[in-house]
Structure 1
């Protein structure tokens, strides 16, 4: 019964449309405070009410893309979601400072997609396929 009460409370807080979207994407009704947004449009939330959420599941990400995976979360937000960092990057003084100039911009893992890295092979193959030599008949 507590999950029904929690679901109804979440529907009242976020609205019927957002509740339906959450049920389609994450399969759970969640409501919490908006913490921040990253450069890719992902939104991050936190529910500090200890009696509503399962411990350790009170921080979550709302992905901007429909086909999402965990590599679409930048490292600074990943550390906040996994409780490695207490403050979110929007409130952390160290994270607010500019990133080092040697640090490359973050990109998601493209393995298995069209944009995946494919090395160019310059070495001749060690094994060649057999090709029969055909001589014309006279």
Structure 2
């Protein structure tokens, strides 16, 4: 539940339009410092003012797509949001010089969509369907 004082303060900081959008999508009114943006267009924020937010909820992501799931956050940003790293990937020297071992760009989990992985089987089946053999009449 958002208090009236916090609601008014948030409207003053981010504006009525952004406040309304936040209430529709994340059901909370948040205002903080813009930290960075990832390759998918997700925006990351942090509120360093400790008395305004519940501990552990002062970092958040504003997802670009609103048909969202957790796999739309890349691993480097996930480590920052989860407090595994103190510096965001844009400022962290280790993350800047890190090369992923797979050399492929990160994609979200596509399970349940048309782009989901579909395996194929190379093993002969144990059971074969019966096919009748028809002899030609003489």
User: Fold match, TM over 0.5?
Assistant: yes
What is the distance in 1 between the residues matched to 2:13 and 2:45? 14
1:56 aligns to 2:56 (yes or no): yes
Q: Could you tell me how far 1:132 is from its partner in structure 2?
A: 9.0
Task: Give the root-mean-square deviation of aligned CA atoms.
Answer: 2.3
Question: Could you tell me which residue of structure 2 aligns to residue 17 of structure 1?
Answer: 17
C-alpha distance 98-82 of structure 1, shift in aligned 2 (>3 A): closer
Contact 2:2-2:29 at 8 Å conserved across structures = no
Which residue number in structure 2 is paired with residue 44 of structure 1?
A: 44
How far apart are 1:130 and its partner, in Å? 6.9
TM-score (norm 1): 0.86
Across the two proteins, how many residue pairs are aligned to each other?
134
The separation in 2 between residues aligned to 1:11 and 1:27, in whole angstroms, is: 14
C-alpha offsets along residues 90-136 of structure 1, whole Å, 9 cap, x if unaligned?
11111222625743221111111110100112334334567899xxx
Following TM superposition, by how much is the alpha carbon of 1:43 offset from its aligned partner in structure 2, in angstroms?
Answer: 0.1
TM-score of the superposition, structure 2-length normalised? 0.86
Match of 1:65 in 2: 65
Q: 1:120 to 1:50 in 2, by over 3 A?
A: same
Matched with 1:87 is: 87
Moved more, 18-27 or 97-106: 97-106
